[in-house]
């Protein structure tokens, strides 16, 4: 169960990035910081900070907290850089989960249509996984996919697919715009559109589950709430946006 919960928190980290398109023109000279809380089984499970340093760089930090941290401490840092078209360029992921201490580096070459992936066990100073795989040119991680979703903002009843890659695995993921809902969060209540990304059940992750994203209907298209529904022995993790800062 602890492994499944850690994987769920990691997926939360992957899924929550993005940039406020209303401030995109100023992104190169300012930093947008999104603060999320993660709830699991009605308790606070963790905190996520998303730093949109520019259109080309997103840095995210995830910290487990409270009961979850006592069960399984998680402190992860994720950095993704993109090219001028928003495609994946380089990924660095540092994971500290209980006694597990790993560092992942991935690079993406859309001209060669290749991705390289290296995972290292920091404690033992050994490479545990190293591979090169094919990609269909431009690919996105889940944070990049969310950026694209915020830009296009499909209306309910429509769907689209997007190529997703973490350097180790690549797949075309379907995203479905479902319906309008009023979402209540610590920031207030917002008319929003609910989307579902079909990343589970072997599409990208083997585990069964569902991933939902709610985006505000104003010009910012903020990812105001995310929800990951996993099998009963893990349950549901809900993220809500608590604060937005710009420096």
Q: Distances in Å between the alpha carbon of 74 and those of 30, 121, 162, 238?
A: 29, 16, 29, 17
pLDDT tens-place string over residues 180-225: 999 999 889 999 999 999 998 888 888 889 999 999 999 888 999 9
Residue 24 scores a pLDDT above 60:
no
Q: Are strands 114-121 and 126-134 parallel, antiparallel or unpaired?
A: antiparallel
pLDDT at 121: 95
* 237 contacts 38 by C-beta, under 8 angstroms: yes
Residue 84 scores a pLDDT above 70:
yes
Residue 1 scores a pLDDT above 70:
no
pLDDT at 63: 84
Residue 144: name the closest of 17, 52, 45 by CA.
17
Q: Distances in Å between the alpha carbon of 199 and those of 109, 157, 172, 175, 189?
A: 23, 19, 9, 9, 28
The percentage of the chain sitting over the pLDDT mark of 70, rounded to a whole number, equals: 85
- Segment of 60-69, 107-116, 147-156 carrying the highest mean pLDDT: 107-116
pLDDT at 6: 56
pLDDT at 9: 56
**Structural domains counted in the chain:** 1
pLDDT at 98: 77
Going 237 to 102 to 165 to 57, the CA torsion angle's sign is: positive
pLDDT tens-place string over residues 133-174: 999 999 999 888 888 888 888 999 999 999 999 999 999 999
- Cα–Cα distance between 8 and 209 in angstroms, integer? 10
pLDDT at 71: 67
Q: Quote the domain boundaries for residue 185.
A: 2-246
What is the pTM for the complete model shown? 0.85
Residue 177 scores a pLDDT above 50:
yes
What mean pLDDT value characterizes the chain?
Answer: 85
Specify the range with the lowest mean pLDDT, choosing from 62-71, 143-152, 198-207, 231-240: 62-71
């Amino acid at each position: 169960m602890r492994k499944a919960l850690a994987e769920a928190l990691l997926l939360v980290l992957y899924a929550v990035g993005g940039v406020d398109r209303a401030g995109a023109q100023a992104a190169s000279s300012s930093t947008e910081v999104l603060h999320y809380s993660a709830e699991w089984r009605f308790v606070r499970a963790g905190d996520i900070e998303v730093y949109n340093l520019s259109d080309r760089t997103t840095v995210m930090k995830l910290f487990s907290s409270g009961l979850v941290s006592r069960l399984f401490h998680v402190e992860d840092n994720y950095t993704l850089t993109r090219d001028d078209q928003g495609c994946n360029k380089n990924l660095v992921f540092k994971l500290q989960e209980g006694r597990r201490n790993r560092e992942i580096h991935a690079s993406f070459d859309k001209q060669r249509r290749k991705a390289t992936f290296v995972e290292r066990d920091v404690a033992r100073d050994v490479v545990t996984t190293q591979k090169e795989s094919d990609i269909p040119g431009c690919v996105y991680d889940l944070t990049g996919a969310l950026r694209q979703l915020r830009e296009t903002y499909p209306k309910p009843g429509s769907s689209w697919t997007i190529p997703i890659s973490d350097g180790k695995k690549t797949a075309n993921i379907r995203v479905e715009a479902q319906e309008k809902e009023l979402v209540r969060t610590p920031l207030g209540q917002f008319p929003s559109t609910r989307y579902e990304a079909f990343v589970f059940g072997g599409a990208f992750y083997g585990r069964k589950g569902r991933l939902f994203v709610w985006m505000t209907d104003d010009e910012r298209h903020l990812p105001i709430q995310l929800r990951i529904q996993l099998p009963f022995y893990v349950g549901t993790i809900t993220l809500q946006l608590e604060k937005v800062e710009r420096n």
